[in-house]
Amino acid sequence: MAVTSDFGISVSVKNTKASDLSAAADDLVKRYGVHLESGTGAGKADRVFADTRTLAASANETLDLAGSLTDAYGATTSFARIKFILIAAAGGNTNNVVVGANASADFVGLLNAAGTITLRPSMCFAAMCGSADPTGMVVTATTADLIKIANSAGGTSVMYDVIIVGNST
């Protein structure tokens, strides 16, 4: 299986202020991006997990990065290093999607044991490692490989997208 990936964030902001005879403008344009070729090591990735998931009211689940995720071809995939991760709450959600604070074996490349990120409807969180980073975010099977995802309340289910790109070694 060959994996080639591109991901990035682009910011463009124009801040203007009018005066009597002219307008001052401050243009901010910034792009952060990574291209990864197929393989392992710096500038490479060989594993992908992507899914749209649904959690019932007040439910939670744990994504096991080292052994229980199934790729697009139905094969179990296991990560040793993460180069990119995105979690996005669906816009139609009523409740929030809470990421993090697993009871044990937290994937510390993303959050420590006490940390969480709350994604309101339509919010997303992404983290990427630059192509020059040979390590990425390290996954340690059985001790640092779990990401907890929770529905913040009762009453309604939530949906979220997850995309993870990384290495097998």
Domains and CATH numbers, the chain: 37-167 (2.60.120.10)
Distance CA 98, CA 100 (A): 7
Q: Once rounded to an integer, what is the mean pLDDT over residues 1-18?
A: 91
Dihedral sign for Cα atoms in the order 100, 85, 165, 80: negative
Please answer whether residues 131 and 44 qualify as being in contact, where contact means their C-beta atoms are separated by less than 8 angstroms. no
Q: 60-64, 103-107, 137-141 — which is least confidently predicted?
A: 103-107
Q: If you average pLDDT over each of 4-8, 87-91, 130-134, which comes out highest?
A: 87-91
Q: Which residue has the tokens 């344009």?
A: 29
Question: pLDDT of 49-100, one tens digit each?
Answer: 999 999 999 999 999 999 889 999 999 999 999 999 999 999 999 999 999 8
Percentage of the chain beyond pLDDT 90 is: 71
The pLDDT, as a whole number, for residue 42 is 86
Q: Which residue has the tokens 């990119």?
A: 84
pTM: 0.89
DSSP string, 49-69: EEEEEEE-TT-EEEEETEEEE
At 159, which amino acid appears? M
pLDDT band at 107 (very low <50, low <70, confident <90, very high): confident
The pLDDT, as a whole number, for residue 112 is 64
